[in-house]
A and B are shown apart, each in its own frame.
Chain A
Amino acid sequence: DTGVSQNPRHKITKRGQNVTFRCDPISEHNRLYWYRQTLGQGPEFLTYFQNEAQLEKSRLLSDRFSAERPKGSFSTLEIQRTEQGDSAMYLCASSPPGENEQFFGPGTRLTVL
């Protein structure tokens, strides 16, 4: 049994570089969510997919951020021209059809130097 997986687990980059994270949801979960968590805070919603359609984007998701879920399976989150304020844990979660519990992956910790 595999849960939600995320890669890489850690990413250190220099300001201005682009980074891409991957999330593999639990098999047959049609909904996929991205959240961002900074130190001492709860996760904050970024965006949501139902199958391959991106249905919701938070105002936190600036135009430097883009997310895709091309075949309704895995998803990628790309941050262009990273800034130090982007340093955070990026969490992915998935939900099965008809349910609203979200199951989270281990997260990708991004550090922007």
Chain B
Amino acid sequence: AQKVTQAQTEISVVEKEDVTLDCVYETRDTTYYLFWYKQPPSGELVFLIRRNSFDEQNEISGRYSWNFQKSTSSFNFTITASQVVDSAVYFCALSIYGGSQGNLIFGKGTKLSVKP
């Protein structure tokens, strides 16, 4: 069975602090994809990044960076110099390659509050 665990339920930081959101996943499949989505207070899920299981290269995009480590089944997300607009619930998700569905398996989310 597949599972995604986001152990941090809520995190509160002050603006300009760096913050890392943890994600641990479980799957027996060797080919899979990992995602991060952001859900602001408006409610709409916004796609941030996708990673496939063969690509462990870490990625930086502006203030966002992702650290994928297969050895620990983790796909952590770091926001550098956080801003108030980063306040949202962040979801990590897993999708298994192949088959007909590709449906996403989400963690329970981490609520990030960035205070001015």
Contact = CB atoms under 8 A, between A and B. Distances in A.
Contact of A107 (B44, B46, B95, B109): B44
Interface of A is mostly: strand
Interface string A19-44: 00000000000010101000011111
A61 B5 CA distance: 23
Contacts of A93: 45, 104
The range of chain A's interface size is 20 to 34
Contacts of B50: 100-101
A105 B42 CA distance: 11
Nearest to B107: A42
A106 B47 contact: no
A42 B102 contact: no
A110 to B, nearest CB: 13
A41 B60 CA distance: 28
Contacts of B46: 104
Given A100-B50, A101-B50, A106 B100 contact: no
B68 interface: no
B25 interface: no
Given A106-B42, A107-B44, A48 B93 contact: no
Given A101-B47, A101-B50, A40 B108 contact: yes
B91 interface: yes
Interface of A: 31, 33, 35, 40-45, 48, 50, 55-56, 58, 89, 91, 93, 95, 100-107, 109
